[in-house]
Amino acid sequence: MKLIRTSGFLLLFLYLLGLLGHSLVDAAVKKYQFDVQMKNVSRLCNAKPIVTVNGMFPGPTVYAREGDRVIINVTNHVQYNLSIHWHGLKQYRNGWADGPAYITQCPMQTGQSYVYDFNVTGQRGTLWWHAHILWLRATVYGAIVILPQPGKPYPFPQPYQETNIILGEWWNRDVETAVNQANKLGSPPPMSDAHTINGKPGPLFPCSEKHTFVVEVEAGKTYLLRIINAALNDELFFGIAGHDMTVVEIDAVYTKPFTTKFILVGPGQTTNVLVKTDRSPNRYFMAAGPFMDAPVTVDNKTVTAILQYKGVPNTVIPILPKLPLPNDTSYALDYNQKLKSLNTPNFPALVPLKVDRRLFYTIGLGINACPTCVNGTNLAASINNITFVMPKVALLKAHYFNIPNVFRTDFPDRPPKPFNYTGVPLTANLGTSTGTRLSRVKFNTTVELVLQDTNLLTVESHPFHLHGYNFFVVGTGVGNFDPKTDPAKFNLVDPPERNTVGVPTGGWAAIRFRADNPGVWFMHCHLEVHTMWGLKMAFVVENGNTPELSVLPPPKDYPSC
């Protein structure tokens, strides 16, 4: 009898322990209030009002664990219509929370609120959030840090501490005014006046000694840097004087670790690196500068922050790293070739090996007639020679409620006519067709998409972002993609998994993904100037066969146009 009682007590104890353990890993609910408001900010000897979240520049970091539910109430107190995108979060069946204005939602008007309610499923690492309308993401952005579930360690040495490094751009002028003036002329908007690290340009700029980000470190430790490129138009090299970095994650996906002096991060991309503080105690500059290997003018100034060993006085002048030259193509290509998925049993690379649908999209710039522009023309950008026209009704709403005459689903799988895409610059017949044309994809289709840069006006590197999905970058190359020989070189074992891919200047990138997330998902160049000119499109992914594989109903507070 005593044995039975003990066993019963033991079973009860184990049961309670099981409940406790279950509650430890159960999803928590993380709630945030985002008040979008104007704030006067001074940089480079100039003060101006900027759009912020909660008066912070950059905005607040959203912290969550894998498996959590996140509820963010956004209230718009500024004169601009606004929406926020949670960049890299897959938003399974829940495009209503994705955020791109007029694609998945109408923007919040002045005085309106909208609750972004989403689950963080099967993702952990560094992502970010930003405004997704006009050029407001120049100041409206912040980090998303998704920690692993309890008891699931990083697949690399546990760092002593971690810090966010958000790379951005700063304009002395009001950005929206400058962009509107450029559009009226039909010319490109002005370049930024500085790059920033966590909103600060660093001491190489005027009036910026006090606007310098400093990380204080202890000698002999390992630190994790979560690096985000929130710049609008510039790919950036980043390095730390005297220190190597070990890349362990890109776009919230673990990678095979490798050591490098510099990393390359395109707009929209994130990179996590480990840094060992094993140098002689000193002050070391962290620096970022542009990568641009095309004849396009960029802001080529260097932003700096300081890695400062404890005990070193602030009077010590920091050591500056020698970044790669802005046009160092070989460094950029070599760096990207080193990026590989971890591909372990715990973190497999589930690359689609069988392809149901092959797409070939050309990326081009163009010039269209513009009777209202001072120049008589304006610059355009296109995919398969189609310049995307933004609708007046959100595409996801039109799809869900079958609203007619909002979009067509005849986006072509390949360009209208083949040509020598990356030959001599093409400067005649630069007109594009326009329309709100989407590509319809059956649920669970495996898609291979080749993005091909072209020399219409000029070749240029394009960071392409797909909403609602990660994809595998199975191949990249310079020149024209060859469908006969290039697929044989694809990496189908451990290719990098990303949400934003850099299409090389005068080259191509091939990606694969499984269309298992129903809804309307935006794909666009993450250079804001090109997005504005129409370098964007969207996929309509059909529902699966059951309600559990279909788009969820819209929330009650869904904004109307």
Average pLDDT, rounded, for the chain: 94
Class of domain 357-549: mainly beta
Stretch 101-129: mean pLDDT, rounded?
98
Please tell me the distance from the alpha carbon of residue 186 to that of residue 188, in angstroms, as a whole number.
7
Lowest-confidence pick of 299-313, 354-368, 390-404, 422-436: 422-436
d(CA 501, CA 250): 11
CA distance 532 to 525: 9
CA distance 431 to 421: 16
Residue count of the chain: 561
Instruction: Report pLDDT for 39.
Output: 98
CA-closest candidate to residue 125, choices 142, 98, 148, 97: 148
Give the list of residues 6+ apart from residue 358 with CB closer than 8 angstroms, or none.
413, 447, 448, 450
Confidence of residue 5 (pLDDT cuts 50, 70, 90): very low
The tokens of 83 are what?
Answer: 């929406």
Q: What is the mean pLDDT of residues 519-546?
A: 97
The Cα–Cα gap between 410 and 436 comes to 10
- Cα end-to-end span (Å), the chain: 72
* 117 CB-contact burial (10 Å; exposed 0-12 / middle 13-18 / buried 19+): middle
pLDDT of residue 340 exceeding 90, the answer is: yes
Q: What percent of the chain has pLDDT over 90?
A: 93
**pLDDT tens by residue, 16-47:** 333 333 334 467 999 999 999 999 999 999 99
How do the domains of the chain map onto residue ranges? 26-153, 156-341, 357-549
Write out the H or E segment, with its range, that includes residue 541.
strand 536-541
Q: How far apart are CA 544 and CA 554, in angstroms?
A: 18
Q: How far apart are CA 51 and CA 37, in angstroms?
A: 6
pLDDT of residue 273: 98
For 180-233, what is the HEC assignment?
HHHHHHCCCCCCCCEEEECCECCCCCCCCCCCCCEEEECCCCEEEEEEEECCCC
pLDDT over 80 (residue 4): no
Is the pLDDT at 123 greater than 90? The verdict is yes
Do 527 and 230 form a contact (C-beta atoms < 8 A)?
no
276-304 mean pLDDT: 95
Q: If you average pLDDT over residues 58-74, what whole number do you get?
A: 98
**Does residue 50 contact residue 38 with C-beta atoms inside 8 Å?**
yes
Q: How does residue 390 score in pLDDT terms, banded at 50, 70 and 90?
A: very high
CA pair distance 361, 356, nearest whole angstrom: 17
Between 78-87, 269-278, 293-302, the lowest mean confidence (pLDDT) is in 293-302
The two three-digit tokens of residue 189, written as one number: 């908007």
The first and second tokens of residue 273, run together, are 């690196």
Cα–Cα separations (whole angstroms), residue 512 to 112, 225, 435, 443, 470:
38, 29, 26, 15, 9
What percent of the chain clears pLDDT 70, i.e. is strictly above it?
A: 95
d(CA 226, CA 166): 8
- Cβ-contact 527, 426 below 8 angstroms: no
**pLDDT at position 7 over 90:** no
Task: Say how many CA atoms lie within 13 Å of 195 toward its Cβ.
Answer: 30
Q: Is the backbone peptide bond immediately before 58 cis, with ω within 30 degrees of 0?
A: yes
How would residue 381 be classed by pLDDT, with cut points 50, 70 and 90?
A: very high
Q: Using CA of residue 423, residue 428, residue 433, residue 434, what is the dihedral sign? A: positive
Q: What is the CA radius of gyration of the chain?
A: 24
pLDDT band at 322, cuts 50/70/90? Answer: very high
Per-residue confidence band for 297, with pLDDT thresholds at 50, 70 and 90: confident
Q: What is residue 140's predicted lDDT score, i.e. its pLDDT? A: 98
474-495 pLDDT per residue, tens:
999 999 999 999 999 999 999 9
Q: How far apart are CA 121 and CA 90, in angstroms?
A: 8
In this prediction, residue 26 carries a pLDDT of 60
The tokens describing 543, both together, are 């529902």
> What pLDDT score does 439 carry?
98
Note whether 227 and 210 are within 8 A (CB).
no
What's the rounded mean pLDDT across residues 217-235? 98
Strand order in the sheet with 536-541: 439-441, 536-541, 519-525, 462-466, 500-503
Q: What's residue 6's pLDDT?
A: 32
Q: What is the CATH number of domain 26-153?
A: 2.60.40.420
Tokens read off for 79: 């004169």
Q: What is the mean pLDDT of residues 204-219?
A: 97
CATH architecture label of 156-341: Sandwich (2.60)
User: Assign residue 88 a region: left if phi > 0, alpha if psi is -120 to 50, beta otherwise?
Assistant: left
Domains 26-153 and 156-341 share a fold: yes
Listed range (17-21, 149-153, 335-339) with the worst mean pLDDT: 17-21
Q: What is the spatial distance between Cα 82 and Cα 72, in angstroms, rounded to a whole number?
A: 14
| Separation of alpha carbons 70 and 52, rounded Å | 20
pLDDT for 8: 38
